[in-house]
């Protein structure tokens, strides 16, 4: 009998790569997705990976506990990966209540559904390096204190501690991955890496001339989503649930990341970059740099794809997308 997994956030970047990994490992993969009036479920990322027909999509929303309970009763998954969230930090100041409901309280709904309907399931929570916020230690590990700097980060911290609490209160095999930024050609266009690689493609093809950015001095520890979903899976294969930092251990400025993208397309960043004060955040996380020692020692996990190779892959993918559209 193959194992069954339920992935919330199946239409997002990580949902797609995680589904691909689980299918390769022989899992029956169920994905929770919400419908909208303009489109049925958006399966474009699963289509990009050619797996849309292999994933069983379930209609649902993190805000609807009854639907979550019925979904777990019907599927009886061995593993539940909670990836769904309002995940864009910048939007969380515009939509703080929704962010709290989905990214924070939504975790309670999924954990309650597990507790009520399938307590034997192993649970993964998508926690975030944004929880560290105002950094007081040069490298952030599982022991570093949290200081969230956005409504998103506050909501993630709630979800993180609730996961710890359900593990300790009810004995649920609940693990939390404190993942640092990870990107790919499937990254949403609003995030800075993909905004940059998409702009590079358009500038190269002559349909755009400038790239407007906010704080280019911010530093991030960027890895590849394909690598990071592997760490999620490894956490649920351990005998004991735990919390793990998942990161590369290298940090770069937004500017340095831009230079890699522009250089790859033989373009000059300074001819196209415009700093737009409207894109600065009310409170910024200046630098993130993760210490992945525990993940390496206990899970045998290490990031394999470098930030440079990832950004080049993203530029190539965006060039290909735009060439196809313009044809």
Of 157, 254, 295, 307, the one binding ligand GDR (CB under 6 A) is 254
Helix-helix angle 254-264:192-204, to 10 degrees: 30
Strands of 119-186, DSSP E: 122-128, 174-179, 182-183
- 11 sits near ligand NDP (criterion: CB under 6 A): yes
Stretch that binds ligand NDP, among 166-174, 175-183, 199-207, 315-323 (CB under 6 A): 175-183
Told to check if 98 binds ligand GDR by CB under 6 A, we report no
Residue selected from 167, 182, 204, 230 as contacting ligand NDP according to rule CB under 6 A: 182
Backbone angles phi, psi at 77, to 5 degrees: -70, 150
Site for ligand GDR in 266-295 (CB under 6 A): 279, 281, 284
In the complex, the smallest distance separating the C-beta of residue 118 from ligand GDR, rounded to whole angstroms, is 27
Closest to 35 in 3D by CA, of 57, 55, 66, 68: 57
Q: Which residue in 33, 72, 178, 192 binds ligand GDR (CB under 6 A)?
A: 192
Residue burial 16-28, b: 16+ Cβ < 10 Å; e: rest: bbbbbbbbeeebb
Listed as own residue / partner, the contacts of 205-209 with beta carbons closer than 8 Å and 24 or more positions apart are 205/319, 205/322, 205/323, 205/326, 207/322, 207/326, 209/272
Q: Is 215 in the site for ligand GDR (CB under 6 A)?
A: yes
Burial class (CB within 10 angstroms; exposed 0-12, middle 13-18, buried 19+) of 3: middle
18 binds, among ligand NDP, ligand GDR, none (CB under 5 to 8 A by kind): none
Residue among 15 and 151 whose Cβ is closer to ligand NDP? 15
Total residues at interface with ligand GDR (CB under 6 A): 22
Q: Which does 49 bind (CB under 5 to 8 A by kind): ligand NDP, ligand GDR, none?
A: none
Q: Which of 165, 168, 149, 137 is nearest to 245 (CA)?
A: 137
Q: Which does 281 bind (CB under 5 to 8 A by kind): ligand NDP, ligand GDR, none?
A: ligand GDR
Q: 278: which residues sit within 8 A by CB, 6+ positions away?
A: 214
Span 112-131, contacts to ligand NDP by CB under 6 A: 126, 128
Query: 194-210 burial, b if ≥16 CB within 10 A, otherwise e?
Result: bbbbbbbbbbbeeeeee
Please give the residue ranges that form the binding site for ligand NDP (CB under 6 A): 8-9, 11-15, 34, 42, 61-63, 83-87, 102, 126, 128, 179, 181-182, 188
Please give the residue ranges that form the binding site for ligand GDR (CB under 6 A): 87, 89-90, 128-130, 180-181, 190-192, 195, 213-216, 218, 220, 254, 279, 281, 284
């Amino acid at each position: 009998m193959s194992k069954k997994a339920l992935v919330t956030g199946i239409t997002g970047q990580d949902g797609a790569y995680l589904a691909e990994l689980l299918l390769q490992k022989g899992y029956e993969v169920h994905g929770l997705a919400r419908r909208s009036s303009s489109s049925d479920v958006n399966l474009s990322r699963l289509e990009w990976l050619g797996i849309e027909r292999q994933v069983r999509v379930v209609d649902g929303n993190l805000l609807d506990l009854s639907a979550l309970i019925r979904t777990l009763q019907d599927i009886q998954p061995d593993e539940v990966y909670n990836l769904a969230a309002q995940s864009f930090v910048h939007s969380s100041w515009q939509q703080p209540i929704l962010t709290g409901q989905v990214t924070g309280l939504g975790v309670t709904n999924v954990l309650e559904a597990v507790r009520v309907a399938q307590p034997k399931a192993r649970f993964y929570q998508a926690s975030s390096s944004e929880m560290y916020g105002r950094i007081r230690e040069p490298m952030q590990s599982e022991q570093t204190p949290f200081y969230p700097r956005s409504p998103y980060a506050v909501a993630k911290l709630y979800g993180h501690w609730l996961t710890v609490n359900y593990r300790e209160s009810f004995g649920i095999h609940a693990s939390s991955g404190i993942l640092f930024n990870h990107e790919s050609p499937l990254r949403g266009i609003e995030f800075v890496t993909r905004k940059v690689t998409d702009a590079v493609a358009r500038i190269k093809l002559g349909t755009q001339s400038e790239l407007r950015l906010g704080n280019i001095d911010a530093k991030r520890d960027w890895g590849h989503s394909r690598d990071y979903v592997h760490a999620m899976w490894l956490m649920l294969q351990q005998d004991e649930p735990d919390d793990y930092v998942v990161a590369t251990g290298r940090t770069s400025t937004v500017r340095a990341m831009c230079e890699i993208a522009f250089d790859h397309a033989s373009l000059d960043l300074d001819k196209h970059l415009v700093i737009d004060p409207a894109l600065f955040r009310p409170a910024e996380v200046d630098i993130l740099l993760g210490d992945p020692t525990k993940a390496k020692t206990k899970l045998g996990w290490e990031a394999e794809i470098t930030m440079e190779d990832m950004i080049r892959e993203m530029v190539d993918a965006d060039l290909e997308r735009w060439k196809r559209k313009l044809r």
